[in-house]
């Protein structure tokens, strides 16, 4: 029999030659193939290849790596066993087609015992390639590399001893103790107010000599292509982190490198479309970010004391997959990072204009002419900004405003309250006797709410997915001034155009804070609060506000 025709042969065998059991198995195998194609877009091929998709052999149906791998290893040298999280299938790739054929013959339609001791039957099909990206399987962000063991333990020690956190008499190197970490700058000071450097004012002292020799070496060895002239040293205690951010395009060139010392850490990378990849940065490794990973993906470190990491001994750098069979917890230790960047002196011309401050069009403010324009305006100047600054925004907004706390505490126990534009959820936990639902247009902020175990959804403040009259009260704090048009604004506030906010509560019981635009030329910086007991109707509320101007 010609080697590459097993699958075809199995599938084309005349059904009379098969026993009843074999026919059933064949039907199930075909069914598995169709399901994978229909639901997952995984296309099986009718000839043998090195890779197989294993239906029923996935983490999603309780089969762990520990159970599956030995079975496949008996058939040949397994190059990779890829088990996507929560999926009822996996992929196995062999070194040769012969080995994958072996596996096909020995394991297709065969039983395996899952983690709960139940038997599952595996159905195998050949695939041309293992579909990483299409399946949302994780790969490193493009342009990112992690070079392991770039320095020795002795060199690490030397670098760590170089930093004198305790005394910096002239504060020459701009030491700062930020809220979440200690930081020191060399070459140029980095200003957190505008996330930029003062390019005309290099610091008196440049980069430490020892760093210079490392940089020269990395350049010569090809790990980096440009010599940095700015260094930021960050020190993180366990539990500390850095909010997700993209280094300002106009501030630094396209290659940013970061040396991890003292301890490993897991860094989160996030693509604007929501894909998140956790990358392990081992101790003494160099993270090199270029291209897409530097310009388009945000990176940050979640403040926590433990990281979820791969369990295998041989695993060092790279992505943390969500493979439950391979995960374990690792306690964080003090990590010091040396981040080297090259200050940019010409505008950035990257191909990621959406996130590029050099390419941001500065148009004079004007009223949008259509809903479409208004929505674009909001998208660009409100939603995108909040997505980008969510981490920082959240970390600077801890203290609830007393007026709002008072309002929430005065509500009857058990009231259902919507917080429209809830941000990081700072009001959602103010009164535990209320049932509060938050919503915000920024996914990143809603993620923060969820981490804090609040109920929150992503939505537009003018299309809140809550049934009219379902709430007893509603707050919307510092939101309305973000709406782009008077139409949108009025529609949210006035009864003649019943809109999201107005219709949420059964009786007017609102707290709206923001700079309210009540007529074409009057800005009304005020708060408007209408308690349930006031019994004021919408017309009265509006009249009250207008009379106060």
Residues at the contact surface with Zn ion, assessed by CB under 5 A: 249, 348, 350, 356
Question: Least distance (Å) from Zn ion to the CB of residue 228?
Answer: 18
Give the Å distances, CA to CA, from 42 to 50, 78, 79, 133, 391: 15, 20, 20, 12, 37
Strand order in the sheet with 473-477: 456-458, 435-440, 416-420, 473-477, 510-519, 522-530
How far apart are alpha carbons 292 and 368 in whole angstroms? Answer: 32
Output 104 or 295, the one with its CB closest to Zn ion.
295
Minimum distance of Zn ion from residue 379's CB (angstroms): 19
User: What is d(CA 232, CA 208) in angstroms, rounded to the nearest whole number?
Assistant: 11
Q: Tell the smallest beta-carbon distance from residue 268 to Zn ion (Å).
A: 21
Q: Closer to Zn ion by CB, 312 or 349: give it.
A: 349
- In terms of CB distance, is 54 or 356 closer to Zn ion? 356
Q: Which is nearer to Zn ion, 249 or 482 (CB)?
A: 249
Q: At its nearest, how many Å lie between Zn ion and the CB of residue 42?
A: 36
* Torsion of Cα atoms, 19 then 24 then 25 then 26, to 10°: 90
Q: Which two tokens stand for residue 407?
A: 């309002």
State which H helix or E strand residue 146 sits in: strand 144-147
Kindly state the smallest distance separating residue 389's Cβ from Zn ion, in Å: 17
Q: C-beta of 471: minimal distance to Zn ion in Å?
A: 43
Q: How far is CA 256 from the centre of its chain?
A: 20
Quickly tell me which residue has 């936990």 as its tokens.
429
| CB of 91 or CB of 269, closer to Zn ion | 269
27/225 with CB nearer Zn ion: 225
> Cα(207)–Cα(223) distance, rounded to whole angstroms?
19
Name the minimum Å distance from CB 251 to Zn ion.
Answer: 10
455: helix, coil or strand?
coil
Nearer to Zn ion, 347 or 537 (CB): 347
Q: Which is nearer to Zn ion, 249 or 299 (CB)?
A: 249
| Cα separation, 168 vs 157, whole angstroms | 20
Contact 344, 253 (CB under 8 A): yes
Least distance from Zn ion to the Cβ atom of residue 252, Å: 10
Using DSSP's 3-state secondary structure scheme, residue 57 falls into coil
Exposed, middle or buried, 287 (CB in 10 Å: 0-12/13-18/19+)? buried
């Amino acid at each position: 029999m010609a080697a590459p025709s097993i699958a075809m042969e199995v599938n084309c065998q005349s059904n009379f030659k098969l026993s009843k059991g074999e026919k059933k198995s064949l039907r199930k195998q075909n069914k598995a193939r169709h399901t994978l194609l229909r639901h997952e877009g995984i296309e099986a091929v009718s000839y043998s290849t090195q890779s197989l998709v294993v239906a029923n052999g996935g983490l999603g149906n309780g089969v762990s790596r520990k159970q599956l791998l030995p079975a496949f290893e008996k058939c040949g040298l397994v190059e990779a066993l890829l088990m996507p999280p929560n999926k009822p299938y996996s992929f196995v790739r062999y070194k040769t087609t012969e080995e994958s054929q072996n596996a096909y013959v020995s394991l297709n339609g065969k039983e395996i015992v899952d983690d709960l001791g139940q038997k599952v039957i595996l159905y195998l099909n050949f695939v041309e390639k293992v579909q990483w990206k299409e399946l949302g399987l994780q790969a490193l962000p493009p342009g990112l590399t992690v070079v392991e063991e770039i320095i020795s333990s002795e060199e690490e020690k030397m670098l760590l001893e170089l930093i004198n956190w305790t005394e910096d008499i002239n504060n020459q190197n701009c030491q700062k103790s930020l809220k979440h970490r200690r930081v020191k700058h060399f070459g140029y000071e980095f200003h957190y107010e505008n996330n930029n450097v003062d390019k005309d004012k290099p610091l008196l002292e440049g980069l430490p000599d020892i760093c210079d020799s490392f940089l020269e070496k990395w350049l010569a060895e090809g790990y980096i292509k440009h010599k940095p002239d700015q260094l930021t040293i960050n020190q993180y205690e366990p539990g500390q982190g850095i909010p997700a951010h993209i280094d300002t395009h106009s501030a630094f060139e396209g290659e940013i490198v970061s040396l991890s010392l003292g301890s490993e850490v897991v860094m989160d990378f996030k693509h604007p479309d929501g894909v998140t990849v956790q990358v392990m940065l081992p101790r003494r490794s160099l993270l090199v970010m270029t291209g897409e990973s530097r310009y388009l993906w945000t990176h940050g470190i979640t403040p926590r004391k433990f990281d979820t990491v791969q369990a295998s001994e041989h695993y060092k750098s790279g992505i943390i997959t969500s493979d439950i069979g391979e995960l374990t917890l690792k306690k964080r230790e003090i990590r010091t990072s040396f981040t080297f960047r090259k200050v940019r002196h010409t505008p950035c011309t990257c191909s990621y204009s959406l996130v590029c401050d050099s390419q941001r069009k500065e148009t004079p403010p004007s009223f949008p002419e259509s809903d479409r324009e208004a929505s674009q305006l909001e998208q660009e100047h409100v939603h995108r900004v909040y997505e980008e600054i969510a981490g920082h925004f959240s970390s600077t907004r801890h203290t609830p405003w007393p007026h709002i706390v008072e309002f929430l505490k005065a509500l009857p126990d058990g009231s259902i309250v919507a917080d429209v534009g809830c941000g990081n959820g700072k009001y959602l936990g103010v009164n535990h006797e209320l049932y509060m639902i938050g919503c915000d247009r920024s996914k990143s902020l809603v993620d923060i709410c969820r981490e804090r175990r609040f109920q929150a959804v992503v939505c537009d403040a003018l299309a809140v997915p809550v049934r009219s009259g379902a709430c007893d009260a509603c707050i919307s704090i510092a939101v309305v001034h973000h709406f782009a048009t008077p139409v949108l604004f009025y529609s949210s506030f006035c009864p003649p155009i019943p809109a999201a906010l107005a219709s949420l509560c059964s009786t007017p019981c609102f707290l709206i804070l923001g700079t309210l635009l009540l007529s074409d030329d009057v800005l009304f910086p005020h708060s408007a609060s209408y308690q349930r007991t006031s019994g004021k109707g919408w017309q009265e509320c509006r009249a009250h506000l207008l009379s106060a101007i």
